[in-house]
Chains A and B, each alone.
Chain A
């Protein structure tokens, strides 16, 4: 792509000519805050957080949607820009519910971070507080809390542009605009497939996973990137770990699945720490499976293997490997049976 020169905050930079101002700024280390932007979605220009001053333009322009032009002179932090951003934040904040103390999103909330960064005072301003008190809890995996919604529209666009479902929409006009589902039905009755992409993109606590896990976002121990354990697509997931528990699954955007998940990948992790997981080897004694030590189990298996081998030969063995286990595990299992037992009776449920 051809490169062109533009100026940001007085510094000349070269960027590809198909960039937006936001892309150009970010790549060159100029931070521009956003709320409704997502690289995977078409620019919407809804939140107006990313406005910048462009010389010659009548009003401020949104950097997320405006392409660069050769010779463009951009200011990302002039008083005019900062004042506009602060006003926008004040307006959003004035219409937001203030329960940050108890909100699960605290510490992971774009609105909270930006209000903090811009010194927005929640008690400033003479405005009336509106509350819809509308919380849609019908989905099994997440809730929608209208009073925390800033109408950035990311969920609407993600559901339609990324997921191709279109279960979420805007409804109403003006200040009555709200996120809804077709025909104002509840989430459960819509075409929603509970993929959770809307939850992943929501910048506030409006769409949040239903969870019993008690953790604060700043207490997260680590995020571990891994591959989903369900179907063969191989979606990349980030397991969010707190206190040796997977408490949430995020979907990194820079992966083959482009940050999209299905319901199983995003929410199907709660089997991991269930109490009925197998924790000890079990050996059948008098018809019943009873707990034993690893040594006892290994000894039993080895002796049974040896005797079977002696009495019936290698082909009296069969092993079912698993399409759910790792490559390494499949490899080592067939190695055990081929290399040690000397049988090719190894198969797995590829056919099923």
Chain B
């Protein structure tokens, strides 16, 4: 998030797109509702009539994958009606004219057609966003999990800058990060192209910096493989040794049949986890890990706030904290870290990671700090791009609407989109083991509109077969008016009826994010 969670209540307008906030980030959802009670306007765009839609001034039930069409149409309205922030664009951005040209070539009506919504509603939404003093955009995987997700994000940035909403309090561009420490994992180099602090592995200075810091030689300057490519590498035999710390790709990754094949092909798999997950069952060595309540450390939340994780109870049996295990293995491999505590690691992180330079456990004892926090006396950063963009001038990028990688055809005639439910988290490794949560939602289902169900002659709760070009599963249907006709939705928490046997591994060319939010499926009566 460019801005902070605490700023949400005071915003004048919220544009919520591609995030079912009240279920996936429930506490942020409550702050959004509070903002509305405080008088803020709310625009919601989502193929499903999510809870926030009930509170919205304008709700746009868009087709999956049509975000860019919507955003461009809205920008068309804002430019045509002269509602954009000219001074801001003049002083803080570049490349506006380019984008303007692309936008004006794309009519609102065309956008409305692609999105499957009323053009007038798009106009209303655009005006609400543009006319507010401070307006924030909030999005999640509905934007990024697209085969051209990078473009969807750029489009969001265009809109934010167009109205001068980036770099101000209670505004901003705010991706809501899905997992507790996905922000921190990215920050600390769990990506194939960057060292901690987004320092590029291809940059010779960075290579030298880390060689010195770590007291090693010969660091690789070649960008590594992303998960989908790692899986491909498993199948091709290029990748032999897979080490997994606390992940469950056997449920979470797209096109599971493909993943399964890769797993059967790896030479050696090590998995560290707290339970014997679907993935751990495939491993050669499984190492018992401590859970969050059994170890020290930090998580970085979606607003870039580094907060403490503290040990409350002992880990069961001989389970160890993940960092202890890795530290032990490094020692076995002849590398001595001299890490005796998580705090020791944070000290090294602060040394090599500019954004975390000012972080110490002492400073975040009571309240976490938000990065960038480069020095020990820096107060942290509440919102980004104040006065100036991190890169200097904000760059508009003309983005054209592109169809999803897989579109419906006469055979696979329905669009499947996936997501989470309130009561479960990710692959359910934890939540499905909590009785109450599992009782609330104990099995998978497909949401389907009454009209679509009627067309297929299906009754509520009927068991059906749903298949895509990649796989087939059986699951019960749930008829609801909340979903758009000819679109179906499935949660992905359930290994026994895994939505990801159906999803498409079509990747965004830049980020390799799979297109979880759109694939073509068919439903058959059993």
Contact = CB atoms under 8 A, between A and B. Distances in A.
Interface string A238-275: 01010011100000000111001111110111111110
A129 interface: no
B195 interface: yes
A339 B332 contact: no
A177 interface: no
Contacts of A88: none
A70 to B, nearest CB: 30
Nearest to B299: A227
B319 A224 contact: no
Interface in A262-302: 262-265, 267-274, 276-284, 289, 294, 297-302
A231 B30 contact: no
B286 A195 contact: no
Contact of A336 (B24, B180, B240, B326): B326
A205 B285 CA distance: 47
A326 B249 contact: no
A335 interface: yes
B434 A268 contact: yes
Interface in A161-188: 161-164
A90 to B, nearest CB: 37
A350 interface: yes
A137 B22 CA distance: 24
Contacts of A261: 27
Contacts, number: 455
Indicate the member of B28, B180, B242, B270 with the most A CB atoms within 10 Å.
B180
B437 interface: yes
Interface string A318-346: 11111111111111111111111011111
B342 A326 contact: yes
B511 interface: yes
Interface residues of A, number: 106
B428 to A, nearest CB: 10
B172 interface: no
B351 to A, nearest CB: 11
B193 A233 contact: no
B302 A234 contact: yes
A304 to B, nearest CB: 5
Nearest to A321: B190
B242 A318 contact: yes
7 contacts: A140-B437, A282-B286, A317-B242, A323-B185, A327-B187, A334-B188, A346-B191
B463 interface: no
Contact of B297 (A268, A326, A344, A350): A326
Contacts of A232: 25, 176-183, 301-302
Given A343-B224, A350-B191, A317 B286 contact: no
A264 B431 contact: yes
A308 interface: yes
Interface of B: 5-6, 22, 24-30, 33-34, 37, 144-145, 176-193, 195-196, 201, 210, 214, 216, 218-220, 222-227, 230, 233, 238-247, 249, 252-253, 267-268, 270, 273-276, 280-281, 283-289, 291-295, 297-303, 305-314, 316-323, 326-330, 332-335, 337, 339, 342, 345-346, 348-349, 367-368, 422-426, 430-431, 433-437, 439-440, 511-514, 516
B490 to A, nearest CB: 15
B33 A331 contact: no
A9 interface: no
A239 to B, nearest CB: 4
A312 to B, nearest CB: 5
Contacts of A317: 239-243
Contacts of A294: 318, 320, 328
B180 A324 contact: yes
A322 B247 contact: yes
Contact of A278 (B187, B192, B288, B513): B288
Nearest to B436: A140
Given A234-B307, A294-B318, A329-B322, A302 B313 contact: no
A253 B352 CA distance: 34
B301 A233 contact: yes
A220 B271 CA distance: 35
Interface string A197-239: 0000000000000100000000000101111111111111001
Contacts of B284: 283-284, 304
Main secondary structure on A side of the interface with B: mixed
Contact of A162 (B30, B181, B305): B30
A283 B285 CA distance: 5
A329 B225 contact: no
A302 B332 contact: yes
B369 to A, nearest CB: 12
A150 B445 CA distance: 41
Contacts of B276: 276, 278, 282, 289
Contacts of B253: 349, 352
A13 interface: no
Contacts of A277: 274-275, 288, 291, 316-317, 319
Given A260-B30, A264-B425, A301-B332, A326 B430 contact: no
Given A241-B313, A299-B332, A350-B191, A281 B345 contact: no
A326 B26 CA distance: 22
B196 A334 contact: yes
Given A280-B317, A332-B337, 15 more contacts: A141-B436, A164-B37, A195-B26, A225-B310, A227-B292, A234-B305, A267-B437, A279-B317, A289-B286, A300-B285, A327-B184, A327-B187, A327-B300, A333-B243, A334-B189
Given A233-B25, A329-B297, A335-B214, A318 B243 contact: yes
B84 to A, nearest CB: 31
Given A270-B434, A347-B190, A349-B252, A260 B313 contact: no
A351 B243 contact: no
A193 interface: yes
A222 B314 CA distance: 13
A244 B268 CA distance: 36
Contact of A233 (B28, B186, B267, B422): B28
Contact of B345 (A268, A331, A336): A331
B182 A262 contact: no
A323 B187 CA distance: 11
Contacts of A299: 332
Contact of B225 (A231, A257, A347): A347
A351 B316 contact: no
A262 B189 contact: no
Given A284-B284, A327-B300, A351-B512, A231 B181 contact: no
Contacts of B440: 140, 194, 263
Contacts of A235: 27
Contacts of A323: 178-182, 184-185, 190
A340 B335 contact: yes
Given A262-B422, A326-B298, A344 B247 contact: no
Given A294-B318, A351-B511, A281 B185 contact: no
A318 B230 contact: yes
Contacts of A135: none
Interface in A69-85: none
B293 A280 contact: no
Contacts of A282: 276, 283, 285-286
A162 B220 CA distance: 50
A45 interface: no
A140, A163, A226, A332, most chain B CB atoms within 10 A: A332
A263 B329 contact: no
Contact of B243 (A234, A337, A352): A337
Q: Could you say which of B30, B177, B426 has the most chain A C-beta atoms within 10 Å of its C-beta?
A: B30
A224 B311 contact: yes
B179 A231 contact: yes
A4 B76 CA distance: 54
